[in-house]
A and B are shown apart, each in its own frame.
Chain A
Amino acid sequence: MLKVRVIPTLLWKNSTLIKGIGFDSWRRIGSVMQAVKVYNMRQVDELVFLDITATREGRKPDFDLVDDFADDCFVPLTVGGGITTLDDVHKLLLAGADKISLNTASIYNPYLIEEIANKFGSQCIVVSIDFKRSSDGKFEVFTHSGTKSAGKDPVAHAVEIANRGAGEILLTSINYDGTMQGYDIEMTKKVASAVQIPVIASGGAGSYKHMLDVILEGSASAVAAASIFHFTEQTPLESKIYLKKHGINTRLSQ
Chain B
Amino acid sequence: MVLLIDYGMGNIGSIRRALEECGADVCVSNSPDDLKNAERIVLPGVGSFADGIKNLKKYCWIERIRQEVLENRIPILGICLGMQLLATHGQENGNNEGLDLIQGDVVRMVSTDANERIPHIGWNNVFRKHEHPLFENIQDGTDFYFVHSYHFIPERNADILAVTPYCGSFVSAIYRNNILGVQFHPEKSIPMGFQLLKNFLYKI
A76 near B: Cβ within 8 Å?
A: yes
A97 near B: Cβ within 8 Å?
A: yes
Which of chain B's residues have a CB closer than 8 A to the CB of A168?
Answer: 119, 121
Q: Which residue of A lies closest to B145 (CB)?
A: A76
Among A75, A94, A95, A121, point to the contact of B188 (Cβ < 8 A): A75
Given contacts A71-B17, A96-B17, contact A121 B92 (CB under 8 A): yes
With the chains together, A118 CA to B194 CA distance in Å? 30
Q: Are A74 and B120 in contact (CB under 8 A)?
A: no
**Chain B 151-171 interface 0/1 with A at a Cβ cutoff of 8 Å (1 = within):** 000000000000001100000
With the chains together, A196 CA to B115 CA distance in Å? 9
Which of chain B's residues have a CB closer than 8 A to the CB of A251?
Answer: 123, 143
A32 near B: Cβ within 8 Å?
A: no
Which of chain B's residues have a CB closer than 8 A to the CB of A45?
Answer: 122-123, 145
B11 near A: Cβ within 8 Å?
A: yes
Chain A at the B interface: mostly helix, strand, loop or mixed? loop
Among B21, B46, B48, B81, point to the contact of A98 (Cβ < 8 A): B46
Q: How far is the CB of B90 from chain A (nearest CB, A)?
A: 12
**Which residues B121-148 have CB closer than 8 A to chain A?**
121-125, 139, 142-143, 145, 147-148
Q: Are A3 and B47 in contact (CB under 8 A)?
A: no
Which of chain A's residues have a CB closer than 8 A to the CB of B187?
Answer: 74
Number of A-B contacts defined by CB within 8 Å:
121
Among A90, A119, A167, point to the contact of B119 (Cβ < 8 A): A167
A5 near B: Cβ within 8 Å?
A: yes
Which of chain B's residues have a CB closer than 8 A to the CB of A5?
Answer: 122-123
**Range class of the B interface residue count:** 35 or more
Given contacts A123-B149, A167-B149, A254-B192, contact A70 B13 (CB under 8 A): yes
Q: Are B148 and A123 in contact (CB under 8 A)?
A: yes
**Chain A 162-183 interface 0/1 with B at a Cβ cutoff of 8 Å (1 = within):** 0000011000000000000000
Given contacts A121-B48, A121-B92, A196-B117, contact A93 B11 (CB under 8 A): yes
Which of chain A's residues have a CB closer than 8 A to the CB of B81?
Answer: 121
Which of chain B's residues have a CB closer than 8 A to the CB of A90?
Answer: 8
With the chains together, A20 CA to B119 CA distance in Å? 31
A229 near B: Cβ within 8 Å?
A: no
With the chains together, A87 CA to B28 CA distance in Å? 20
Q: Which residue of A lies closest to B150 (CB)?
A: A121
Q: How far is the CB of B198 from chain A (nearest CB, A)?
A: 14
Q: How far is the CB of A179 from chain B (nearest CB, A)?
A: 27
With the chains together, A73 CA to B189 CA distance in Å? 11
Q: How far is the CB of B59 from chain A (nearest CB, A)?
A: 16
**Chain B 75-87 interface 0/1 with A at a Cβ cutoff of 8 Å (1 = within):** 0000001000000
Given contacts A120-B47, A123-B121, A196-B117, contact A96 B147 (CB under 8 A): no
A144 near B: Cβ within 8 Å?
A: no
Q: Are B149 and A122 in contact (CB under 8 A)?
A: yes
Q: Are B188 and A97 in contact (CB under 8 A)?
A: no
Which of chain B's residues have a CB closer than 8 A to the CB of A121?
Answer: 46-48, 81, 92, 148-149
With the chains together, A167 CA to B108 CA distance in Å? 14
Which of chain B's residues have a CB closer than 8 A to the CB of A3?
Answer: 122-124, 143
Q: Are B118 and A197 in contact (CB under 8 A)?
A: yes
Among A95, A122, A197, point to the contact of B13 (Cβ < 8 A): A95
Which of chain A's residues have a CB closer than 8 A to the CB of B123?
Answer: 2-3, 5, 45, 251
A binding-site residues for B, Cβ under 8 Å = 1-5, 40, 45-46, 67, 70-71, 73-77, 90, 93-99, 118-124, 167-168, 196-198, 221-222, 251, 254
5 nearest A-B pairs in the assembled complex, by CB-CB distance: A96-B13, A123-B119, A251-B123, A74-B190, A120-B47
Q: A2-B124, A118-B48, A254-B192 are in contact. List 14 more A-B contacts (CB 8 A).
A: A1-B165, A45-B145, A76-B147, A96-B11, A120-B46, A121-B92, A123-B119, A123-B147, A124-B46, A167-B147, A168-B121, A222-B122, A251-B123, A254-B142
Q: Could you list some 27 contacts between A and B, CB below 8 A? A: A1-B165, A2-B122, A40-B190, A45-B123, A70-B14, A74-B18, A74-B188, A74-B193, A76-B185, A76-B188, A96-B11, A96-B14, A118-B51, A120-B47, A121-B46, A121-B81, A123-B46, A124-B46, A167-B119, A167-B121, A168-B119, A196-B117, A197-B117, A197-B118, A198-B117, A198-B119, A222-B122
